[in-house]
Amino acid sequence: MQETPLDRVLDVIAAASDSTAAGAIDDPDLPVAGTALIVRDGDAGPEVLLIQRPDRGSFGGAWVFPGGKVEASDREGLAVDATEEDVARRAAVRESLEETGLEIEPVVTLSQWDPPVGAKVRIRTWFFIARAIGGELAPSPDEVVGWEWVRPRDVLDRHATADVTLYPPTWVTLNALADASDSDALIARATFERFSTTARQAATGLMLVWQGDAAFETEGGAGAARHRLEVGVLPWVYTRSAG
C-alpha cells in the first residue's frame, strides 16, 4: 500500500515516541526556522494562507504556513544583540516572499516550537502572525503545489476527514484561532507560548504532550493536568486543562 502524507506525519511522531525524554526549550544546537500565518478578512470570517508542499521532503504533501530555515542573509544588518526571534522573523518574511510572492509584516510573535527529542529532524520554529503589505500572490512552483485562503475552522474540519494533511504545530495553531470573528480579533487573541514537545502513547495511539501536562516529564505521570494532542485516530483531540 502506498504511504500517504498522513502516514508520514504519524511515522515522524512514532519515531520520536521511542524516546522518553522531555523536550528541552532553547536547545542552542537546534537549527531555527520562521513561519508566517498570513491573515486577511474573508466574506465569512478571518482567513489564513495555507500552501501545500510537493510530495517529497520532510513535509511532503502537507498543508503548511509559508516559511523555512534561517539563512545567513537573515542575520545581515541586524544588531549584534539581535535575538533568535529577530532572525527567525527575518526568515519568515523572506521565505513568505520567495514562496508566495507576498510581502508581509509580522505583527505578533505567536509561538516557538521545539520538536520531540527523538525526532529524526529537529528544527526549532517560530510562528508569526502577519499581514500582507504588498506583492501579488504568485506561489513558487518548486515549493508550492497548492494554495488556499481558508478559515481555520474549515481546514480543521477537512483534516478530520483526511481531506488535508496537517502537522501538529499547524493543527494546534489553527485550533487556537478558529473562533475569531475577524482578523483583528484573531491577532488580539494571540498570546505568545513556547511548546516543548514530548511524544507519548495514549489509549487511542500516539499523542504529543507539552508543558503543563502530567505526562510531560514522565510517561504516565501522576496528576490530572492536560496539555496534549491525541493523533492516533482522526479526528485529532486537543485537551488542555489545569487538572
**pLDDT confidence of residue 204:** 87
Q: Are strands 102-114 and 124-135 parallel, antiparallel or unpaired?
A: antiparallel
* Structure confidence at residue 12 (pLDDT): 65
Contacts of 235 (CB under 8 A, 6+ apart): 159, 160
Structural domains of the chain, with CATH: 25-196 (3.90.79.10)
Query: Among 90-94, 193-197, 212-216, 220-224, which range has the highest average pLDDT?
Result: 90-94
- For the stretch 65-107, pLDDT in tens is 999 999 999 999 999 999 999 999 999 999 999 999 999 999 9
Residues, the chain, total? Answer: 243
pLDDT tens, position by position, 120-140: 778 999 999 999 999 999 999
| CB 41 within 8 Å of CB 47 | yes
- The more confidently predicted of residues 10 and 50 is 50
> What is the rounded CA–CA span in Å between residue 45 and residue 3?
35
pLDDT at position 19 is 53
Q: What percent of the chain has pLDDT over 90?
A: 74
Alpha carbons 111 and 8: distance in angstroms, whole number: 24
Instruction: pLDDT band for 59, please (50, 70, 90 cuts).
Output: confident
Cα distance between residue 196 and residue 230, in whole Å: 16
CA end-to-end distance (rounded Å), the chain: 42
Taking phi over 0 as left and psi of -120 to 50 as alpha, with beta for the rest, 4 belongs to beta
Average pLDDT, the chain: 90
Percent of residues, the chain, with pLDDT higher than 70: 89
Residue 1: predicted pLDDT:
47
pLDDT of 45 over the 60 cut: yes
Maximum distance among all Cα pairs of the chain, rounded to whole angstroms: 52
pLDDT of residue 2: 47
Separation in Å, CA 71 to CA 53, 125, 162, 176, 208: 20, 13, 34, 29, 29
Strands 63-64 and 45-52 turn out to be antiparallel
Q: Which pLDDT value is given to residue 24?
A: 56
**Parallel, antiparallel, or unpaired: how do β-strands 226-230 and 237-241 relate?**
antiparallel
Q: Which three cell numbers stand for residue 179?
A: 473562533
**Residue 85 three-state SS:** helix
**Cα 222–chain centre separation:** 28
DSSP string, 194-230: EEE-EEEEETTEEEEE-TT-TTSSSTT-SSS-EEEEE
